[in-house]
Amino acid sequence: MAAMIRPLLAGLALLGATPTLAQRFDSSAPIDVDAARIDIADAENEAIFSGAVVIRQGNLTLNANRVRITYLKDASGNPQVQRLDALGAVRLAQGTMRATANTGIYDVNARLVTLSGNVKMDRDGNRLEGARVVWNLNSGTSSFDARTAANPGGRVTGRFTVPEKKAATPPN
Contacts 24+ apart (CB under 8 A), 48-53: 53/86
Amino acid found at 101: A
Residue ranges with strand state E in 58-139: 60-73, 79-94, 97-107, 112-123, 126-136
pLDDT in tens, 71-101: 999 999 888 999 999 999 999 988 888 999 9
How far is residue 84's CA from residue 107's CA, in Å, rounded to a whole number? 7
How far is residue 12's CA from residue 2's CA, in Å, rounded to a whole number? 15
Domains of the chain and CATH, by start:
18-154 (2.60.450.10)
Residue 158: partners with Cβ closer than 8 Å, 6 or more residues away: 11, 15, 126, 127, 128, 129
pLDDT in tens, 10-52: 333 334 444 455 546 677 889 999 999 999 999 999 999 999 9
